[in-house]
Structure 1
C-alpha cells in the first residue's frame, strides 16, 4: 500500500471519441510520505482500504474500453482516495466535511480518527488534488476542442450495507445507482445507462450516492459536457470488503461497453 505510483494517468482513446471513463477511487496506493500523517497502524489501514476502495473498478473500465467500437479515453487515479479525494469540493461547499471526509479525509469510514485534529491538508491539495483537477480539466477541454462535446462516465462501486460515514445511507441501494446532475445529465444519457445495466436487477437514481463529476471550469456552465456516475453494488462482482473479483466483473464490463457504444453515433 506504500509503494510509489503515478498520481494519475490519462490513457488515450480514439481521437473521435467524446467519452472519458473516469476511475477515481480504485487504487490502494498510499505513498510513504502520506502514510506518515495517518494515525492507523498497518492492519487498521488495510481494513480501511478494504472499505473505502472501489476495488477492481479500473479493471472494469479497462475491459469495457477494450470492447468498445470506438475506444473511450480513461482517466485513472493511481493513488488511494485516502491521499486526497479528487471528487470532493476543496472548500466549505463540500457536505462530506461534516463527517471528516472532504478533499482530505480526517476520519475513516467508521468515523474514527484518520489524521490528527487540526491536520493541515493544504500541502496534499497542492501536491495531488489541484494537479489532478487541472489534468482532468485539460482532458475535457481536449475532447471539446477535438470532438465538440465530452461525456464523463464516473466508474464507482459501493458496499451492500451502508457504512457509518454515509450521509444518505438509509435510502435505496439498487444493484446499479446512477448519479445525475440536472445540468450535465441529459435524458438520452440516462436512458442509455438504464438500458445497458437493465439485466443486473434494476437501476436507481442518486441513492445512496448522488451527483456527477465535472471539472469546475465547466460545471454548470457548458452544456456540451455530459456526465453520469455509475455506482455498482460491490456484491455484483466481488467479495466484500476488499476481496477478489468474481465472474460478475466481465458482465458489468460488457454493460459499460454497451453504454459507451450507445453514446457514439
Structure 2
C-alpha cells in the first residue's frame, strides 16, 4: 500500500486538496513500536483521525466544475505527521507530538519517550514532503500559481493534547498563514461556507505549505479548513451523516471560486 496518493485533477486547475490526517492504517513494523494494546490504539485512532475527510475531498472534487488535484495521506498520522515541522520549530513537541508522536491525545505514552524519530522521518516524512513539493511545482508550471486547501476536522470538545483548546470552536475554522493566505482566499472560504458559523485560527491555526517554498514564494497560497466533527459525523470515530454532503458542496464552491 502506498503511503500517499496524488490523484490527478484538471491540468488547468491550480488547486490541491491536501488530506493528511484521514487514514487509520499503520504498517506492522510501526505498530510494533506503539505501546498501546489493540483496543486502546483503536480508541486513540477514533480521537486523532480526521475521519471521513478523504471522502469529503473526493465528493467535493467530483462536484467542482474544474476538478482539483488531491494529495491524500494513506497512513495514519501516528506513523508520522506530515504537517509538523521535523525540527525544534514545532510547538507540539511540548506535548510529545512532533513529526513522530510519543504521546496520545490524552497525554499518555504512545511510544517510548526516547524513541529516535529519524528512521520514521526518513522512511515516511521526507518522501511525502518531496512528493507534495513536486505536486506544487507542477501546478506552478501548469498554471503559474498553486492553491493548497488543507482539509481537516476536529472534535467538538477539546482533548488534553490541545495547546489552544480553550479557544472558540466554530463549525468551520479557517487556519491561515500571514504570508501564504491572502485576504481574497479567506473571503472566498467565508462565502463558500456561509451556511455555517466560520471562525479564524481558533482552536487551530496555520496551514500546510512545503518547506521549500514556505515564506518564499507568494505564488503559493494556502488555507486550512478545519470542520468540527459534530457537523457531519458521530464522535468519536463514528459514521458520517448527511452533513458531509453539504460540506462537500461548500468545499466544491470554494474550489470553483479559486479557479
TM over 0.5: yes
Displacement of 1:151 in angstroms is 0.1
1:85 pairs with 2:81 = yes
| 2:221 alignment partner, one of 215, 226, 231 | 226
Secondary structure of the 2:35 match is coil
SS in 1 for 2:195: helix
> What SS does the corresponding residue of 1:160 show, helix, strand or coil?
coil
* Cα distance in structure 2, aligned partners of 1:246 and 1:109: 24
Q: 1:236 aligns with which of 231, 239, 255?
A: 231
Distance in 2 (CA, whole Å) between partners of 1:230 and 1:106 is 26
SS in 1 for 2:223: strand
Mapped to 2, the partners of 1:197 and 1:159 lie a distance apart of 19
Work out the number of aligned pairs and report it.
Answer: 259
Partner Cα separation in structure 1 for residue 103 and residue 85 of structure 2? 17
Q: Deviations over 1:86-138 (max 9, x none)?
A: 00000000000000000000000000000012111111000000000000000
Counterparts of residues 1-265 of structure 1 (less than 5 Å): 5-200=1-196, 202-264=197-259
Normalised to the residue count of structure 1, the TM-score between the two structures is: 0.97
Following TM superposition, where does structure 1 have runs of at least 4 consecutive aligned residues deviating by more than 6 angstroms?
none
CA distance in 2, matches of 1:80, 1:179: 21
Q: Match of 1:10, SS?
A: strand
Distance 2:73 2:2 in 1: 8
- Please state how far the C-alpha of 1:238 moved relative to its aligned partner: 0.2
Q: Taking structure 2 as the reference length, what is the TM-score of the superposition?
A: 0.99
- Unaligned 5+ residue runs, structure 1? none
Take 1:163 and 1:248, find their aligned partners in 2: how far apart are those partners?
A: 23
Flag structure 2 segments of 5+ consecutive residues without an equivalent: none
Secondary structure, in 3 states, of the residue corresponding to 2:227? strand
The alpha-carbon deviation at position 220 of structure 1 amounts to: 0.4
For residue 6 of structure 1, report the CA deviation from its aligned partner. Answer: 1.5
For 1:154 and 1:182, how far apart are their aligned partners in 2? Answer: 16
**1:198 CA drift (Å):** 1.1
C-alpha distance in structure 1 between counterparts of 2:62 and 2:255, whole Å: 11
Mean CA deviation greater in 117-126 or 248-257: 117-126
